[in-house]
């Protein structure tokens, strides 16, 4: 791995663990195993490196979500696969957690990749909901954009509930509840089995 890559990956890890303020240039260099001055040789400074790290995190999340939502299956199955995909629930969403960092939210430049990524996930979900409506799988009264916002809010809120309780069960409950609502909207009532999410 090149020095540039090590710096970006180290910054991503530190932002996740400590937030922007706690991610000092010294800590980045130590984690990356890079010499003094390496950061300023490859980047303008900490904000520039942090932006590269946030963009990388956002790109990876979007790619993984797009792969799940673009897989074969009915609209309901693809939404279920997205909701039940393997996650480290107690660590939280790598992009969603960035919204809790006041320094990142205060910076329009650092916030932009976060907003764009969450917006793109919402667009993908909305398209699948609309597809399901057209196929008669979902109730015609469902609004694609609003339902997509609900799905995304359930995921992000599920992380918060799980972290607060110290158990993935809260996330699983939120997912199962939402899937039950989507099933009911299709006119096919029935319990949705609970899963254990890591």
Q: What is the mean pLDDT of each run of 10 residues along the chain (198 residues)?
A: 92 91 92 87 91 96 96 96 94 90 94 96 97 92 95 96 96 96 67 44
User: 142-162: b or e for each residue (b if 16 or more CB lie within 10 Å)?
Assistant: bebeebbebbbebbbebbbbb
Is 29 part of any domain? no
Q: In the prediction, which pLDDT does 15 show?
A: 92
Q: In the prediction, which pLDDT does 198 show?
A: 40
Is 158 part of any domain? yes
Is 2 part of any domain? no
**Block residue for tokens 């793109």:** 120
Residues 6+ apart with CB under 8 A from 185: 138, 139, 142
Q: In the prediction, which pLDDT does 189 show?
A: 41
Residue 79 belongs to what domain range? 53-185
**Number of domains the chain contains:** 1
Is 14 part of any domain? no
**Count of H helices and E strands in the chain?**
9, 0
Is 149 part of any domain? yes
Is 144 part of any domain? yes
Is 35 part of any domain? no
Q: In the prediction, which pLDDT does 187 show?
A: 55
CATH of the domain at 126: 1.10.357.10
CA distance 49 to 36: 15
Number of other residues whose CB lies within 10 A of the CB of residue 54:
28
Is 12 part of any domain? no
CA 183 vs CA 134, 140, 144, 178: distances in Å? 16, 13, 15, 9
Residues 6+ apart with CB under 8 A from 103: 19, 20, 21, 110
Q: In the prediction, which pLDDT does 111 show?
A: 95
């Amino acid at each position: 791995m090149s020095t540039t890559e090590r710096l970006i990956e180290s910054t991503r890890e530190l932002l996740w663990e400590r937030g922007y303020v706690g991610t000092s240039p010294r800590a980045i260099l130590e984690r990356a195993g890079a010499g003094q001055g390496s950061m300023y040789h490859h980047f303008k400074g900490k904000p520039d490196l942090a932006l590269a790290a946030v963009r990388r995190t956002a790109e990876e999340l979007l790619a993984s979500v797009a792969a799940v939502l673009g897989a074969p299956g009915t609209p309901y199955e693809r939404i279920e696969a997205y909701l039940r995909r393997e996650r480290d629930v107690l660590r939280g969403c790598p992009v969603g957690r960035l919204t809790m960092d006041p320094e990142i939210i205060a910076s329009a430049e650092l916030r932009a990749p976060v907003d764009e990524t969450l917006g793109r996930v919402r667009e993908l979900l909305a398209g699948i909901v609309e597809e399901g409506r057209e196929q008669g799988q979902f109730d015609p009264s469902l609004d694609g954009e609003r339902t997509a916002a609900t799905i995304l809010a359930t995921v992000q809120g599920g992380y918060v509930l799980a972290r607060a309780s110290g158990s993935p069960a809260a996330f699983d409950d939120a997912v199962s509840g939402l899937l039950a609502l989507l099933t009911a909207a299709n006119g096919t009532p029935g319990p949705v089995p609970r899963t254990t999410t890591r």
